[in-house]
Structure 1
Amino acid sequence: MRQWVRFLSVGFLLAAALAFGALQASYRSKPTDRVIRDVGEALRTIETYYSGEWSSDAVLKWAIVDMLLSLDPHSNFLDERAYQRMMEEQRGSFYGIGVSINSIQGVLTVIMPIPGTPAAKAGLRAGDVIAEIDGEPTKGQPLDDLIRKLRGPKNTEVRLTIVRQGYEAPFSVTLVRDEIPLVSVVNAFVTPDGIGYLRVRNFAERTYEEIRSHLEEFQKAGLKGLVLDLRDNPGGLLEEAVRVADLFLPPGLTIVTVRGRGIGRVVEYKSEQEDPYETLPLIVLTNRGTASASEIVAGAIQDHDRGLIVGETTWGKGLVQTLYPLSFNTAVAITTARYYTPSGRLIQRSYASFFEYSFPQVQSSPLTPGSPDRPQFQTDLGRFVTGGGGIQPDVAVESFRDPEVLQAIEQEFYRRVAPVNGLPYLEFARFFAPVEKADEERQHRSTRQLLSPDFQVDDALLTRFQDFLRQREIPFDETAFRRDREVIRQVLRRELIERLWGESEGYRYFLTFDPQFKKAQEVIPKARQMWSQRLQALKKKEVSS
């Protein structure tokens, strides 16, 4: 397989050389050679006749992307930047200052500092404008170039000039670059009732250690049950998913079976170690964004009746990719196997239509039961589950969605201002500051309004938000705004908390009115009863054997 991948990359390099007259050679008359010759002639034709500007590198990269997409939706080409990002995600760290940034109308803007990083310790806040990096203006510069300037070797310095809404003048701050951890567990706490909550954003090299560490802390608080939130978790490393599932399963149970091409290419992963969390009542939250490695965990939990799946049907990705590095720090991800849940399910959704596969929410509700002709399987206790279209929840609950009037407002910002998610709230939050920063605000003669962590969105704050929209000339349905004002209060408070006190705090407040999390807490007793029944069956099997 590796040789085949290399052959394809060499083929495209030869085609590029043909296009620019750098290669003069004859090819044997084979279909592959004819296709390569067609590519070369097409490139020469573009070079000769195309009226606009073009890049041969960009054209060839898209040719490789389309070639791989013709295989399946998940085989892909990673250019140097994408490959670097993937490796950082899997390693779980990079070197820099620890800040999420974006370009808004050519202005480099802080979206969110990462907690505990140099950026957060230096006091950078959501909405800050980074006007200069080491004395060089940032306005209008390519975002990738600016990201490279902010990153660099550990213990090196970078000086930023910051413009902050409401401050009398810009100010400078010098940061020392450090290793920036990309944690997998982004929320972790125990409710007053003893229910632990873990929100896992991906499966990287340290995901298992992070989860285990949090569980050890939870036990000190008298843990009575666990909600494992895998919503919008796109997956990651297969091995980490197996290790996480192993935390909750007794030894000897199948977690996933991976079947590759050719005879003997079958690997069965089983739970191996004993853990104190194997009897803990367990709920797994899922939605359409739950995919790949996340579905491996959810599938193992469901098939062994270890816990209940609450929420919406998952994405349905049962293909396994292997990453093959190429020359010049690029790579291709090729589908090399399929995985099957313990009951034998292949949960891969059909990708006959690329549009339907990419936008499943347009085609059907994530709560709609699967087609009756989907293959049927049984869990250990005999419950029926289906394959071929994601993992359906045991308890279906629709995701919370912002009112349509707020969705329309965000779309207007996206279209008129910049394609940045959550932009209306980021812009509005610039006019506020945490009350804990009162001294700093006074020092800079700030005009921003101070808010305490327990602030409420009263009528005055709602009116101010509407005035802000009018000043920005963003149209909105005022009748719908009045009708949905109570839900809008919740959403606006969530968004302001996130910008002023961090994403983790904003999401924790969101959980107070999240219907899926509420249902998860309600059905903990049902999950406990089901797993108790399954454990009794396992003990009887051990005695009889």
Structure 2
Amino acid sequence: MRTSLRKMGWVFALAAAPVIFFSFNGPDDRYFDIARNLDIFATLYKEVNALYVDEVNPNTLMRSGIDAMLASLDPYTNYIPEDDIEDFRTQSSGEYGGIGAVTGRINGKVKVIMLMDGYSAQKNGLKIGDEVIAINGVSIENLSRDETNELMKGQSNKDVEMTVRRYNTPTPIKLTFKREKVKIENVPYFGMVTADIGMVKLTEFTDQAGRSVKNAVQALKEKGAKKIILDLRGNPGGLLLEAVNTTNVFIPKGMDVVSTKGKIEDNNQTYKTLDNPVDTEIPLAVLINSGSASASEIVAGTLQDYDRAVIVGEKSFGKGLVQVSRPLSYNSQLKVTTAKYYTPSGRCIQALDYSHRRPDGSVGKIPDSLKTEFTTKNGRKVFDGGGIDPDISVEGEDISAIAYVLQTKGILFDYATRYYYDNPEIPAADQFSLSDKEYEAFKSWLKTQDYSYRTQVEKNLEDMIENASDEKYYDLIKDQLNELEEVIEQSKEKDLDLYKSQIKTLLEEEIAGRYYLERGSIESTFDADPDLQAAVRVLSNTEELGTILNKK
């Protein structure tokens, strides 16, 4: 923790006469520095706007200055102008006025990539895969994704007309939707993974996240769940109080969850659980990965500190900073880091040290030599300064070059759309699997698509050829290099079979989402999810679970 030092004047009593020496770096001098620098900045700003050779947009110039100033502190201290306030509120509350459709740009075309169950878009005929051409008569061809979303969002109970191009439909279709208050579910999925293990997926800590997890766990117990998996993978965090409420589902009332410490006394607080829990005994596993940050790490770290859950997956992100928002003039706001947070064992999991930047301005991770050891309730060793370490580490499979290009170029997306219209129904998402015949059909269709890609081996070979040319070796080894190029090209032709399992999983996830929306996408990956399978295994083995949670 950074210590704030208040510099005081020194008083020296000398034999000849008392002489008092004062340091001129006290609060008054600090206020003078602030006023002086503000005056310099204002003068500079006026002079640049008046004298610069080209026309300067004063708003853009000021925004650049503010953003650069705040970026020198940390990535989480941000200026939010009036134009962005609505998006900021949406992030906090999870609510906005819209039709319940998610769009994205795929190969230059704006397409519907997901529908939210039960909202106007889904109820009134919009389909995943539809290409959006116009909104309220306004062509979106040259609009950004944000601009397109702004046209769809707006005041509730107002109509939105959307023109879309649909697969196998020769002429564009016009659809009308009524905007409504859309609530982005912080728990998009909960369900049974096995006969006695339930899973809750929490994607963000917006308002009522704790209540959503509580309701999901209660519903799963009614369905027969004897063990619970809480999936926090990719959850970037959110409201601190919702992290406390989520933890409260599994630990008793009155327990410490997180403490915050900053330079202002009012920011030094300890947050305790306030309600009666749902279940303090049910075996629990928490899934985390490198995208689990902030509030996710509070939940995972607290449950780990109390030996209440086994943590499965990868090391978490390592964000141990707390932000609050402050109102500014002209309806703008400042989101500013005010404190660091600490889990019940006393550890702060912040991984990057923003207070000690390198000479080039970059930020380094806290070295292992400076990390401190703490202990959990049962005496297990845990460490600060680098995120939450899982109790069971799971090595994730790297995505292959061919799977990556098929995904990012929208080829899997387009084939899923084709499959949806060619097949009226599929089995339940967790039972759905493409047959070998269907995969061969997909491979045949791929011959009509451009999915060229370069592997890392090809890139390394190109570097080798360049280095050989520079060092005058190319003529000596060109025959071998040409042979190697041919071998690599022949090997790439087999990639569709070599990485069949990986490609099939991604394609099945995309297809299942067409029929069962986000719930289907999640359930289709159960069998191919190594983190989930590791959690199921340890929860099914009472002896192993007990050994992990009691190991010193």
TM-score band, normalised by the shorter chain? 0.7 to 0.9
* CA–CA distance in structure 1, aligned partners of residues 314 and 196 of structure 2: 25
Structure 2 counterpart SS, 1:226: strand
Query: Which residue identity lines up with residue 38 of structure 1 in the other structure?
Result: L
Query: Which residue identity lines up with residue 426 of structure 1 in the other structure?
Result: F
* CA–CA distance in structure 1, aligned partners of residues 362 and 190 of structure 2: 31
Once the two structures are overlaid, the 10-residue window that deviates more, 189-198 or 278-287, is: 189-198
Task: Tell me what 1:146 maps to.
Answer: 148
* Cα pair 1:106 1:140 within 8 Å, conserved: no
* Cα pair 1:185 1:210 within 8 Å, conserved: yes
Task: Tell me what 1:475 maps to.
Answer: 452
> How far did residue 523 of structure 1 move?
1.4
Query: Which residue identity lines up with residue 375 of structure 2 in the other structure?
Result: Q
Instruction: Identify which of structures 1 and 2 has the higher relative contact order when contacts are C-alpha pairs closer than 8 Å and 6+ apart.
Output: 1
- Distance 1:180-1:29 versus aligned 2 partners, 3 A rule: closer
* Cα pair 1:95 1:151 within 8 Å, conserved: yes
> How far did residue 336 of structure 1 move?
0.7
Please list the CA deviations of residues 74-127 of structure 1 after superposition, one character each: whole Å capped at 9, or x if unmatched: 111223454322211322211111111134465432121111110011121221
Paired residues in the alignment total 473
Please list the CA deviations of residues 125-145 of structure 1 after superposition, one character each: whole Å capped at 9, or x if unmatched: 221022232334333245444
Once the two structures are overlaid, the 10-residue window that deviates more, 425-434 or 61-70, is: 425-434
Task: Tell me what 1:62 maps to.
Answer: 64
Query: Which residue identity lines up with residue 516 of structure 2 in the other structure?
Result: W
Task: Tell me what 1:197 maps to.
Answer: 199
Which structure 2 residue ranges, 5 or more long, are not aligned? 1-32, 454-491
* CA–CA distance in structure 2, aligned partners of residues 245 and 506 of structure 1: 27
* CA–CA distance in structure 2, aligned partners of residues 223 and 28 of structure 1: 59
Query: Which residue identity lines up with residue 153 of structure 1 in the other structure?
Result: Q
* Cα pair 2:211 2:245 within 8 Å, conserved: no
Structure 1 counterpart SS, 2:258: strand
* CA–CA distance in structure 2, aligned partners of residues 39 and 81 of structure 1: 22
* CA–CA distance in structure 2, aligned partners of residues 256 and 43 of structure 1: 47
Query: Which residue identity lines up with residue 179 of structure 1 in the other structure?
Result: K
Please list the CA deviations of residues 165-214 of structure 1 after superposition, one character each: whole Å capped at 9, or x if unmatched: 11233222221221111110011002333111001000011111211111
* CA–CA distance in structure 2, aligned partners of residues 249 and 518 of structure 1: 25
Please list the CA deviations of residues 271-319 of structure 1 after superposition, one character each: whole Å capped at 9, or x if unmatched: 2333231111111100010001111111110111111111111111111
Task: Tell me what 1:38 maps to.
Answer: 44
Task: Tell me what 2:461 maps to.
Answer: none
* CA–CA distance in structure 1, aligned partners of residues 233 and 357 of structure 2: 23
Provide TM-score, normalisation by structure 1.
0.79
> How far did residue 252 of structure 1 move?
3.1
- Distance 1:193-1:501 versus aligned 2 partners, 3 A rule: closer
Task: Tell me what 1:452 maps to.
Answer: 426
* Cα pair 1:126 1:500 within 8 Å, conserved: no
Alignment of 1:255-270 (within 5 A): 255-263=257-265, 265-270=267-272
Task: Tell me what 1:385 maps to.
Answer: 382
Please list the CA deviations of residues 238-268 of structure 1 after superposition, one character each: whole Å capped at 9, or x if unmatched: 0111011111112332100111223464211
Q: 1:427 aligned to 2:427? A: no
Which structure 1 residue ranges, 5 or more long, are not aligned? 1-26, 414-422, 435-447, 535-545
> How far did residue 528 of structure 1 move?
5.7
* CA–CA distance in structure 1, aligned partners of residues 183 and 35 of structure 2: 53
Task: Tell me what 1:398 maps to.
Answer: 395
Task: Tell me what 1:542 maps to.
Answer: none
Structure 2 counterpart SS, 1:430: helix
- Distance 1:486-1:104 versus aligned 2 partners, 3 A rule: closer
Structure 2 counterpart SS, 1:30: helix
* CA–CA distance in structure 2, aligned partners of residues 455 and 292 of structure 1: 35
- Distance 1:225-1:530 versus aligned 2 partners, 3 A rule: farther
> How far did residue 370 of structure 1 move?
8.2
Q: 1:529 aligned to 2:534? A: no
Alignment of 1:19-168 (within 5 A): 30-45=36-51, 48-50=52-54, 55-104=57-106, 107-168=109-170
Structure 1 counterpart SS, 2:204: coil
* CA–CA distance in structure 1, aligned partners of residues 549 and 108 of structure 2: 58
Structure 2 counterpart SS, 1:84: helix
**Higher radius of gyration, 1 or 2:** 2
> How far did residue 433 of structure 1 move?
1.9
* Cα pair 1:131 1:139 within 8 Å, conserved: yes
Q: 1:486 aligned to 2:501? A: yes
- Distance 1:124-1:54 versus aligned 2 partners, 3 A rule: farther
